[in-house]
């Protein structure tokens, strides 16, 4: 029965709940009672693990499959089975790029050493254009993936730059940063905090920051809480759920 309820929940954005209940021969009151139940301990753990999986997948440039993601999680000390990782990735539509072989400079030049975590979770700042944070998320559509990069001013928590592209590339992050620099025109050095994803560790990204008097700060590997403000923004962003509920097409996204 719970599998039927889960199916209804997944497709409730596309079809009326009552029609889905009739098709699966379940009573709507039973479905809504199931929705009101508190999450089980395993469901909560799945949600926590899924956050780490999404983070690792995005850091890989959207190319890692469940085996490599599982290896990354084990390196971080996570005790989870490979099949569990595969199940969670499949539910979100996250998959590897077939035939993918990583080569040096694929995302914009030879990768550089990760920058220190200068921000150190000091999320309260006293003025604008002092610290910015950036991150990338994905939007699933029936025509393929879209990747969204945003730059937030840590003082106001407002979006000051963004970029959206059908491919995960270094230009995605740079274009969002370019918009932020152009709009704000900071007069003093700005710190930009990101994760250690390939877009933010590329030589193109680092060169752009240097040319615009911006200092790089990076989260510790696999620690999404070091960039909690950007992560929280995507939790509130409606399209964040598009991984499970695809948008109709690229234009509408």
* pTM strictly above 0.85: no
Question: Is residue 186 scored above 80 in pLDDT?
Answer: yes
| Domains in the chain: boundaries | 2-36, 41-92, 131-243
pLDDT for 239: 44
Instruction: Tell me the pLDDT band of 163, cut-offs 50, 70 and 90.
Output: very high
The pLDDT value recorded for residue 142 is: 74
Indicate whether 79 pLDDT > 50.
yes
* pLDDT score at 81: 87
pLDDT in tens, 90-147: 887 777 754 444 433 333 344 456 788 898 888 888 999 999 999 888 887 777 778 8
3-state SS string for 176-245: HHHHHHHHHCCCCCEEEEECCCHHHHCHHHHHHHHHCCEEEEECCCCCHHHHHHHHHHHHHCHHHHHHCC
Average pLDDT over residues 42-61: 79
DSSP 3-state assignment of 122?
Answer: coil
Q: What is the CATH number of domain 131-243?
A: 3.30.420.10
What DSSP designation does 140 have? E
pLDDT at position 133 is 93
Cα separation, 136 vs 123, in Å, equals 19
pLDDT above 90 covers a percentage of the chain that reads 21
Predicted confidence at residue 106, as pLDDT, reads 38
Residue among 30, 39, 40 at smallest CA distance from 8: 30
Average pLDDT over residues 211-218: 93
pLDDT recorded at residue 104: 38
Token reading at 253:
């996204």
Are the beta carbons of 118 and 215 closer than 8 angstroms?
A: yes
CA–CA dist 51, 231 (Å, integer): 10
């Amino acid at each position: 029965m719970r599998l039927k309820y889960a199916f209804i929940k997944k497709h409730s954005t596309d079809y009326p709940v009552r029609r889905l209940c009739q098709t699966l021969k379940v009573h709507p009151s039973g479905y809504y009672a199931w929705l009101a139940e508190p999450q089980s301990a395993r469901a909560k753990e799945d949600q926590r693990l899924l956050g780490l999986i999404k983070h690792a997948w995005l850091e890989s440039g959207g190319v890692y499959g469940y085996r490599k993601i599982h290896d990354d999680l084990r390196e971080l000390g996570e005790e989870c089975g490979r099949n569990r990782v595969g199940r969670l990735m499949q539910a979100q539509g996250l998959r590897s790029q077939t035939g993918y072989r990583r080569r040096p400079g694929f995302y914009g030049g030879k990768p550089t050493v990760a920058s220190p975590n200068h921000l150190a979770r000091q999320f309260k700042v006293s003025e604008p254009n002092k610290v910015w944070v950036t991150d990338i998320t994905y939007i699933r559509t029936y025509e393929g993936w879209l990747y969204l990069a945003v730059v937030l001013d840590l003082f106001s928590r407002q979006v000051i730059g963004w970029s959206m592209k059908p491919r995960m590339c270094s230009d995605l992050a740079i274009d969002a940063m370019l918009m932020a620099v152009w709009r704000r025109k900071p007069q003093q050095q700005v710190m930009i905090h990101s994760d250690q994803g390939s877009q933010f560790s590329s030589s193109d990204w680092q060169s752009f920051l240097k040319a615009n008097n911006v200092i790089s700060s990076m989260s510790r590997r696999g620690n999404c809480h070091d960039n909690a403000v950007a992560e929280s923004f995507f939790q509130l962003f409606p399209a964040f759920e598009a991984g499970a509920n695809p948008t109709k097409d690229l234009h509408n996204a």
